[in-house]
Structure 1
């Protein structure tokens, strides 16, 4: 069973990667962006509930 630190690390990594994909695709494929945005919100809520400060990690300002 993964530790809390491992779970947080995995979610932070996924959150960062997702933002890397979202930023350039926003204007090119809005439907894809909307789908990715749903996952972004889920990750953001999860990380916040785990006590992760997203101030510097969050590059999507909406």
Structure 2
């Protein structure tokens, strides 16, 4: 995922369907310098982790 789109998703009040290793996640914030995102699995809000933006996948809802 590119940095700009990740920032848009993190700032949006609308939940986007984003996955990390095929697991649905919530993007908390973006570290532009390191090109990482602070995320957590939707079903495990206490399991926060920093991951590369390139490993996030947005799934468009039809």
TM-score bracket, normalised by the shorter chain, equals under 0.3
Higher Rg of the two aligned structures: 1
Question: TM-score, normalization: structure 2?
Answer: 0.27
Question: TM-score, normalization: structure 1?
Answer: 0.27
- When you count helix as a share of all residues, which structure comes out higher? 1
- When you count strand as a share of all residues, which structure comes out higher? 2
